[in-house]
C-alpha cells in the first residue's frame, strides 16, 4: 500500500470550479488588489473574528511586514521558538533584527517559562509559533508580552482554524501571520499570505507597505515593498474557503484515529504524543510524534510505502545560516531532541481508514 504525505493531487482531481472562477477574473482583467482580494480578505477576517485581514505575497512577508509595521527596527532582538520553520527567523532578519530562540515545552511550542530569561534591553517583539497547528500557550505568552511591553505577533502560518478557548489564533497580539502555501490549511496555487489585526492603524500601514507606500494612485506615503496577494490567488482562496471547515474536521478526525490506534499500552514507551490543552482546537497541520529509534522507524515506513517525514533533521539554531548568532549544540535540548527523535506521519483529509490502519500496523510491526 502507498501512503503519500501530500493531498494535493487528490484535492485538485477536478479543478474545474476553480478554473471557471479564474476564467471570470481573466475576462475582467482585475488582476491586482481587486474585488476578488477584497472578498477574500473580508472572508478571512470574519473567519478569524478579526477586524482586518490584509493579503500579501507569502506567509514570510506576512511576518516581515507585521514586524516592520508594528515598529521593529534594525538592531532589535525578537524572541521566537527554537522549533519553527526557517521563515520565522528569516522574516526577523529581513526586518534587520536579531532572532533570539527559546526552547519548546511538551506541546512542541515555545516554553513560556523560558521566555523571560531571553529578554534583554534590546528585545522589542515576541513571535510565538502555533507549531503543527497546535495553539501555543498564548494566555501565558501574552501576559509576558504585556508585562515587558513587547510587540506580540503570532506566527499562525500552520494554524488557520486553530482556537484557544474559542478565540482564533492570530488574534491575541497586534498581528497574526498566516501562510497560503500549498501545504498549509487553507492554500492557493502558489504563494500567498495574510495578516489579521484588530488595529485599523496597523491595517492601514500594512496596506501601504505591501503596495509601494502608495496612497491612491499618485501619493507615496513611504518607500516600501511590493508584496500584494495576487487576485488570481484570491480567487483560488475564495473557492477553497468553502471546504475549509470540512477539511479541518476531517483532519482532526484522522488525528484522533491515530491517537486511538497508536495510544495502546504496548507502545507506551516507544511512541509519545505532544501535550494537548483540552480548551484548544488543534487543527493538526502536522501529525508529529516523538518515537524511539526514529531513523530505523523512518526507514521501515519508507520501505513499506509510507511517506513519513522529519520536521526538521537540523534544528534552526544549528543551521549554517544561524552560526553568527553563536548558538551551540545543547542550548535547546528539547528542540534538538525533536530533530533527533520525532517523526511526522501522513495525516490529511484524504487519508483513508485503510491507509491509517496500515500505518499503525507498520509501526506495531516495527516495535513489537
Q: Choose the stretch contacting ligand PLP; rule: CB under 6 A; options: 7-15, 154-162, 249-257, 328-336.
A: 154-162
Q: C-alpha cell of 332? A: 535547546
CA distance 196 to 182: 20
58 touches ligand PLP (CB under 6 A): yes
> 256 vs 121, 239, 262, 263, CA distance in Å?
44, 27, 10, 10
Residue 265 beta carbon to ligand PLP: minimum distance, rounded to whole angstroms: 34
For 56, how many CA atoms within 13 A lie in the half-sphere containing its CB? 32
Residue 47 beta carbon to ligand PLP: minimum distance, rounded to whole angstroms: 18
237 touches ligand PLP (CB under 6 A): no
* Residue from 22, 33, 36, 87 in contact with ligand PLP (CB under 6 A): 87
Q: Choose the stretch contacting ligand PLP; rule: CB under 6 A; options: 31-39, 84-92, 201-209, 343-351.
A: 84-92
133 touches ligand PLP (CB under 6 A): no
Residue 178 beta carbon to ligand PLP: minimum distance, rounded to whole angstroms: 8
Q: Cell 510565538 identifies what position?
A: 128
In angstroms and rounded to an integer, the radius of gyration of the C-alpha atoms of the chain is 21
Q: Cell 532578519 identifies what position?
A: 93
CA distance 323 to 10: 40
CA distance 192 to 59: 6
Sign of the C-alpha dihedral, residues 114, 117, 121, 122?
negative
* Residue from 137, 191, 230, 280 in contact with ligand PLP (CB under 6 A): 191
155 touches ligand PLP (CB under 6 A): yes
129 touches ligand PLP (CB under 6 A): yes
Q: Choose the stretch contacting ligand PLP; rule: CB under 6 A; options: 150-158, 213-221, 273-281, 347-355.
A: 150-158
Binding site for ligand PLP (CB under 6 A): 58-60, 84-85, 87-88, 129, 155, 157-158, 179, 181, 191, 193
Amino acid at each position: 500500500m502507498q501512503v503519500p504525505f501530500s493531498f494535493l493531487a487528490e484535492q485538485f482531481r477536478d479543478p474545474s470550479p476553480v478554473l471557471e472562477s479564474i476564467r471570470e477574473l481573466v475576462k475582467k482583467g482585475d488582476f491586482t488588489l481587486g474585488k476578488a482580494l477584497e472578498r477574500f480578505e473580508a472572508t478571512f477576517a470574519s473567519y478569524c473574528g478579526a477586524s482586518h485581514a490584509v493579503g500579501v505575497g507569502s506567509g514570510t512577508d506576512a511576518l516581515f511586514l507585521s514586524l516592520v509595521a508594528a515598529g521593529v527596527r534594525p538592531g532589535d532582538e525578537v524572541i521566537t521558538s527554537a522549533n519553527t520553520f526557517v521563515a520565522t527567523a528569516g522574516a526577523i532578519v529581513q526586518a534587520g533584527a536579531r532572532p533570539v530562540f527559546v526552547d519548546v515545552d511538551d506541546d512542541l511550542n515555545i516554553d513560556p517559562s523560558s521566555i523571560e530569561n531571553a529578554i534583554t534591553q534590546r528585545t522589542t517583539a515576541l513571535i510565538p509559533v502555533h507549531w503543527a497547528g497546535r495553539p501555543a500557550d498564548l494566555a501565558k505568552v501574552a501576559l509576558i508580552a504585556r508585562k515587558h511591553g513587547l510587540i506580540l505577533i503570532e506566527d499562525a502560518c500552520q494554524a488557520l482554524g486553530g482556537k484557544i478557548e474559542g478565540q482564533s489564533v492570530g488574534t491575541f497580539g497586534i498581528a497574526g501571520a498566516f501562510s497560503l502555501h500549498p501545504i498549509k490549511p487553507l492554500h492557493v496555487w502558489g504563494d500567498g499570505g495574510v495578516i489579521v489585526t484588530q488595529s485599523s492603524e496597523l491595517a492601514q500601514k500594512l496596506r501601504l507597505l505591501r503596495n509601494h507606500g502608495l496612497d491612491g494612485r499618485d501619493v507615496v506615503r513611504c518607500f516600501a515593498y511590493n508584496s500584494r496577494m495576487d487576485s488570481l490567488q484570491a480567487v483560488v482562496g475564495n473557492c477553497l474557503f468553502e471546504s475549509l471547515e470540512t477539511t479541518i474536521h476531517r483532519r482532526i478526525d484522522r488525528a484522533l484515529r491515530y491517537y486511538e490506534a497508536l495510544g495502546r499500552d504496548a507502545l507506551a514507551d516507544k511512541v509519545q504524543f505532544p501535550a494537548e490543552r483540552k480548551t484548544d482546537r488543534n487543527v493538526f497541520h502536522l501529525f508529529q510524534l516523538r518515537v524511539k529509534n526514529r531513523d530505523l522507524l523512518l526507514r521501515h515506513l519508507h520501505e513499506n510505502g509510507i511517506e513519513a517525514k522529519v520536521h526538521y533533521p537540523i534544528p534552526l539554531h544549528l543551521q549554517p545560516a544561524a552560526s553568527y548568532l553563536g548558538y551551540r549544540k545543547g542550548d535547546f535540548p528539547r528542540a534538538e531532541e525533536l530533530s533527533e527523535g520525532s517523526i511526522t506521519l501522513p495525516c490529511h483529509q484524504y487519508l483513508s481508514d485503510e491507509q491509517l490502519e496500515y500505518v499503525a500496523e507498520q509501526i506495531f510491526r516495527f516495535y513489537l
